[in-house]
Structure 1
Amino acid sequence: MAFIELEGVEKTFTVRRKRGRFTRTKDEVRAVEGLTFGVERGEMVGYIGPNGAGKSTTVKMLTGILTPSAGRLRVAGVDPQKERVRLAQRIGVVFGQRTTLWWDLPLRDSFTLVRRIYRIPQDRFEENLGRCVDQLELGPLLDTPVRQLSLGQRMRGDITAALLHDPEVLYLDEPTIGLDILSKATVRRFLAEVNARGTTVLLTTHDLQDIEQLCRRVMVIDHGRVVYDGGLEGLQGSDGAERTLVVDLAGPSPAIDVDGARVVRREGDGERQWLAFPAGRSAAPLVAAVAERYPLVDLSVREPDIEDVIARLYRGVPAQAT
């Protein structure tokens, strides 16, 4: 049995809509439809999709906030809806646009309240807090009221609060949203270390650099269904995806003409050219052909832009899971 397990999970909401002056109708909106997947203990999985795809609904069902309309769902062998209190001791949750900290209290006091809520032993609390404060650079902020923190500082505080009780699984919903480059780097580095210590992580995000830097496995969800589940390499190499060979030549040149690739961009008088070729093909024959026929100075291979690949999935172009 997987550590996190969903089998045929569905979630339907009833929405009341106004029709005319005095009439209202009820419409059913299916947020999640036939969702089936498993996550093994210790995995870090990227769970991505467009707005309204069902990502947040899935996380809320996994935490027990929402009850599935159909299907079976287990986290560490526990039914989240039937045993919410028991499960709460084993999970941590961070919603990027909603804080779990106390707005008017200093950050330090929020952490103390978390300790009391989860009944964390003092020595364990001090050890976990010290590690988080050190790695997330929160020391100078501990006596600052939460309302005075920047978004990046508050996010680091929320992640700390979610980890103080040593959860076995951590759900992250947009943990880097709105953060500057340095804050994102700090958060990503810390999350990688948390996962390396054995914590299972399910990460939903619109920032694909989060996925590239943290996750070996990616699930893409659209209209409540998983449309891709596999490695990042498989997503990059999906049907229609292209790699790019960037070629620097010794002098001006017309468009490079070699089999299996096409020039998509030229710079200057052709001294630098970009050649697109199928992501599933080896670059070696193409490199050899260019080197044989043109005065080559340098070259590099660029992987497919994941945003473009995922956009193709949203438009209904199939990808093959690894």
Structure 2
Amino acid sequence: MSAIVEAGALRREFTVGRGRARRRLVAVEDVDLRIAPGEAVGFLGPNGAGKSTTIKMLTGILVPTAGRLRVCGLDPNRQRRALAHQIGVVFGQRSQLWWDLPLRESFALLGAIHRVGAAEHRTRLERCTDVLELGPFLDTPVRQLSLGQRMRGEVTAALLHAPTLLVLDEPTVGLDLVSKERLRAFLQEVNLVDGMTILLTTHDLPDVERLCRRVVVIDHGRVVADDAIDALRARSGGAREVVVELTAPAAPLDDLPGVRAVRVEADGMRQRLAFAPADTTAATLIAAVAARVELRDVTVVEPSIEDLVRTLYAG
């Protein structure tokens, strides 16, 4: 299989309004997307950008108006049933669990639907139960679970049949900080160790930084960026920072070559020197600071993915 997802000139239109007020609304326009086996890709965009429409086409829920699309080597529309055995999906607003059944029984039903062997099902469920701490509520009806508990159940349900592609829509919603970190670590493991391909949509950008090495940004139905996170950072020209901890207070080091701005903290004992990679390097700047003052510690801070995405949206 050359690619897990292969889309070319993908387009989806909707007809809205009635009578003479009817008009065509283009939700996704000329989207090209290729995801290789084992990749973890962040699929980002503001509300209404076309993310959900694209994912619904990838999973066979919507039929493209035009374009080419293959997922796991299958046509999502014509081979939807076969595709269901190859993908796992977690939609933040949709549940694949049975509302009135205990969580454990929902998992058993899903295992039967996907024809997962008993031993294999038990092994996968035990792994998820251990990492995601499902034990205390496995026998609780789904309707009585908190949002965070249900989301952990949804992720487990999506993994029980060992899908080739895992599509996640806001998987950490409702989770506390500790639970978020456990889930991120678990998803990173299934990607790096098990080789499962992940497509992640989220507004929680730390999820993307932890899990994904590549991001695809969509806005107004079009892909506006598709690259590795580090490459996008470099291309965006976002300022980096060298944070220097000094042994004694010093005047602002704003006259050093390449420094764009300085923020002084801790009564002059700490200074944040902003610079652009096009003007200088972190190593050159640190050497210039060391020649001027005595250093206790140095940290290089990359521009956050929040700043990067904000820049891409503005562009």
Is 2:244–2:272's contact at 8 Å kept on the other side of the alignment? yes
Displacement of 1:251 in angstroms is 2.8
Separation in structure 2 between the aligned mates of residue 234 and residue 275 of structure 1, nearest angstrom:
22
What corresponds to 1:63 in structure 2? Answer: 59
Is 1:249–1:294's contact at 8 Å kept on the other side of the alignment? yes
What corresponds to 2:104 in structure 1? Answer: 108
Counterpart mapping for 1:275-290 below 5 A: 275-279=273-277, 281-290=280-289
Aligned to 1:148, which of 116, 135, 144? 144
Aligned to 2:238, which of 237, 241, 253? 241
SS in 1 for 2:81: helix
Is 2:151–2:173's contact at 8 Å kept on the other side of the alignment? no
The one-character-per-residue Cα deviations of 1:57-104 (angstroms, maximum 9, x if unpaired) are: 111101100011110000122100111111111111001232211112
Aligned to 2:272, which of 267, 271, 274? 274
Counterpart mapping for 1:196-207 below 5 A: 196-207=193-204
What corresponds to 2:82 in structure 1? Answer: 86
SS in 2 for 1:237: helix
What corresponds to 1:36 in structure 2? Answer: 32
Displacement of 1:289 in angstroms is 0.8
Distance 1:57 1:279, change over 3 A: farther
Unaligned segments of structure 2, at least 5 residues: none
Displacement of 1:24 in angstroms is 5.6
* TM-score in terms of structure 1 length: 0.92
Amino acid at match of 1:254: A
Separation in structure 2 between the aligned mates of residue 30 and residue 264 of structure 1, nearest angstrom:
45
What corresponds to 2:15 in structure 1? Answer: 14
Amino acid at match of 1:240: G
Amino acid at match of 2:87: I
What corresponds to 1:76 in structure 2? Answer: 72
Unaligned segments of structure 1, at least 5 residues: 18-22, 317-322
Aligned length: 311
Is 1:31–1:57's contact at 8 Å kept on the other side of the alignment? yes
Separation in structure 1 between the aligned mates of residue 91 and residue 212 of structure 2, nearest angstrom:
19
2:167 matches 1:168: no
Aligned to 1:259, which of 247, 257, 274? 257
The farther-off stretch of 231-240 and 171-180 is 231-240
Separation in structure 1 between the aligned mates of residue 122 and residue 295 of structure 2, nearest angstrom:
59
Is 1:238–1:309's contact at 8 Å kept on the other side of the alignment? no
Aligned to 2:220, which of 220, 223, 236? 223
* TM-score in terms of structure 2 length: 0.94
Amino acid at match of 1:313: L
The one-character-per-residue Cα deviations of 1:123-177 (angstroms, maximum 9, x if unpaired) are: 2222221221122111121111112212111111001111111211111111112
Is 2:3–2:34's contact at 8 Å kept on the other side of the alignment? yes
